[in-house]
Amino acid sequence: MGVSNALTVAVLAGGRSSEHEVSLSSGASVRDGLIASHHQVLWVEVGRDGVWRRDGERLQMSPGDGLLGADVVFPVLHGPFGEDGTVQGMLETLDVAYVGAGVAASAVCLDKVLFKDLMSAAGQVPQVDYVGVHLDGWRREPDLLLAEIARLGLPAFVKPARLGSSLGIVKVTAAELMASALEGAFVHDPQVIVEALASGIEVECGVLGRTDSERHAGGAQAIPSEPGEISFAHEFYDFEAKYLPGGMELRVPARISAAARERVRELAVEVFARAGCEGLARVDFFVDGDRVVVNELNTMPGFTPTSVYPKLMVASRISYPELVDRLCRLALERHERLRASAW
């Protein structure tokens, strides 16, 4: 890429959520990839206190003024206060292009219950069976909710609904342990999801948006990666398995049938579009023979050295520098489209 095509990119990393350190690692990798693509990078760290800082100094921002003169912002933020539409709304107010899903899609997809409810409304998206439990309802009618959860069978998985990176997951193997598992999850989030055990292997598929010229030529709004199979040393795919060295192994291509491969790729793009996503996403599945069910979608998957999304893209012949460059270009195109159609 020539220097004339270089962009100034503000990388946002850190954040208020419990995924602060993961975000810093992801952000550092994105920064390195952008530099390799000959872009200028402005590092903006969001502290655990929520303050945005550049070189240790608090940033002062005003609506409509952009961010540090950057052409585009790459918000490598995971979890609440970053991947849930809050930061995306702020960037919209600043009137600056940014990578990834917009406000609504970010909010919907981070909330596992809301996302699954939306996919259920679509009627054609096969999913892992689930029950959403809110703290208020749990306090009012615990016995009713436990009876509803019981239909999922055991073991079942209890998760905070709006955390990422597999944080706070508990595998429940006995009915008498369900209440305590729910109470533990409520410490993290008043909205909790309980999911049935899904048969088969875990398969993940990356999705990458297509440029305006590609879309005008026809076809889907995004392209799927080669699916990858997740295997791990732990009992299930928890935080340690996801982020610690040796915690998991990614096999690309996944050891699934040709029919299942095509179904995974088809569903990944369909779910991406139904949720209103932009730029990128990683969609997680369970595959048992030719049966494929959707588990969840991540609008800003990890970009750390051990993260699955960039590995899937590299396996699909899109290098890391090319990936982050393309995401910035997609962000600029979307920003121009929105400006052109401003109401």
- CATH number of the domain that residue 290 is part of: 3.30.470.20
| DSSP label at residue 211 | P
CA–CA dist 306, 322 (Å, integer): 18
Residues 27 and 57 placed together within one structural domain of the fold:
yes
Q: Pick the last residue of a domain from 164, 179, 196.
A: 196
Given 83, 296, 325, 333, the catalytic residue: 296
Active-site residue flag, 98:
no
Given 29, 106, 298, 307, the catalytic residue: 298
pLDDT on residue 279 = 97
Domain count, the chain: 3
Given 111, 204, 284, 333, the catalytic residue: 284
Active-site residue flag, 243:
yes
Q: How many CB atoms sit inside 10 A of residue 316's CB? A: 19
What CATH number does residue 92 fall under? 3.40.50.20
102 close to 331: Cβ distance less than 8 angstroms:
no
Residues 120 and 265 placed together within one structural domain of the fold:
yes
Residues 313 and 181 placed together within one structural domain of the fold:
no
324 close to 76: Cβ distance less than 8 angstroms:
no
Does residue 66 fall inside a structural domain?
A: yes
Does residue 341 fall inside a structural domain?
A: no
Q: How confident is the model at residue 18 (pLDDT cuts 50, 70, 90)?
A: confident
Sheet of strand 52-54, all strands in order from the earlier edge strand to the far edge: 57-58, 52-54, 40-46, 8-14, 72-75, 97-98
pLDDT on residue 164 = 62
Residues 297 and 178 placed together within one structural domain of the fold:
no
266 close to 294: Cβ distance less than 8 angstroms:
no
Residues 224 and 309 placed together within one structural domain of the fold:
yes
Given 26, 302, 320, 334, the catalytic residue: 302
Query: Residue 165: pLDDT above 70?
Result: no
Q: Pick the last residue of a domain from 196, 227, 247.
A: 196
pLDDT on residue 56 = 95
Does residue 339 fall inside a structural domain?
A: no
Given 26, 29, 165, 295, the catalytic residue: 165
CA–CA dist 109, 56 (Å, integer): 32
Query: Residue 160: pLDDT above 80?
Result: yes
Active-site residue flag, 298:
yes
Given 16, 261, 282, 334, the catalytic residue: 282
Q: Pick the last residue of a domain from 145, 171, 196.
A: 196
Q: How confident is the model at residue 3 (pLDDT cuts 50, 70, 90)?
A: very low
Residues 239 and 183 placed together within one structural domain of the fold:
no
Residues 119 and 134 placed together within one structural domain of the fold:
no
Active-site residue flag, 120:
no
Does residue 338 fall inside a structural domain?
A: no
Active-site residue flag, 266:
no
pLDDT in tens, 192-211: 999 999 999 999 999 999 99
Structural domain range at position 294? 107-126+199-317
Residues 148 and 164 placed together within one structural domain of the fold:
yes
Query: Residue 234: pLDDT above 70?
Result: no
pLDDT on residue 240 = 55
pLDDT on residue 123 = 82
For the chain, give the mean pLDDT.
92
169 close to 241: Cβ distance less than 8 angstroms:
no
Q: How confident is the model at residue 141 (pLDDT cuts 50, 70, 90)?
A: very high
Sheet of strand 191-196, all strands in order from the earlier edge strand to the far edge: 130-134, 191-196, 156-160, 170-172
pLDDT on residue 1 = 40
CA angle 136/20/134 to nearest 5° reads 10
Does residue 51 fall inside a structural domain?
A: yes
Given 19, 71, 111, 325, the catalytic residue: 19
User: Which helix (H) or strand (E) element contains residue 259?
Assistant: helix 258-274
What CATH number does residue 189 fall under? 3.30.1490.20
pLDDT on residue 95 = 97
pLDDT in tens, 260-298: 999 999 999 999 999 999 999 999 999 999 999 999 999
Residues 255 and 113 placed together within one structural domain of the fold:
yes
278 close to 109: Cβ distance less than 8 angstroms:
no
User: Which helix (H) or strand (E) element contains residue 196?
Assistant: strand 191-196
Given 98, 130, 237, 243, the catalytic residue: 243
pLDDT on residue 213 = 87
Does residue 31 fall inside a structural domain?
A: yes
Residues 122 and 222 placed together within one structural domain of the fold:
yes
Q: How many CB atoms sit inside 10 A of residue 227's CB? A: 28
Tell me the three state secondary structure of residue 327: helix
Does residue 153 fall inside a structural domain?
A: yes
52 close to 82: Cβ distance less than 8 angstroms:
no
Residues 187 and 214 placed together within one structural domain of the fold:
no
CA–CA dist 97, 89 (Å, integer): 12
Q: Which residues contact 153 (CB under 8 A, 6 or more apart)?
A: 196, 197
Does residue 323 fall inside a structural domain?
A: no
pLDDT on residue 305 = 74
Residues 115 and 241 placed together within one structural domain of the fold:
yes
